[in-house]
Amino acid sequence: MSSHYVVTISRQFASIGRIIGLKMASNLGIELLDRDIVKEAGRHLGVQKSEISHYDENSGKSNFF
Q: How confident is the model over 12-58, as pLDDT tens digits?
A: 888 888 899 899 999 988 888 887 787 888 888 888 777 777 766 65
Establish how many alpha carbons lie within 13 A of residue 48's alpha carbon, considering only the half-sphere containing its beta carbon. Answer: 2
What is the pLDDT at residue 26?
Answer: 94
Closest CA to 10 of 52, 56, 51: 56
Domain boundaries, the chain: 1-57
What pTM was estimated for this model as a whole?
0.55
Residue 8 clears pLDDT 70, i.e. is over it: yes
Residue 1 clears pLDDT 80, i.e. is over it: no
What is the pLDDT at residue 11?
Answer: 75
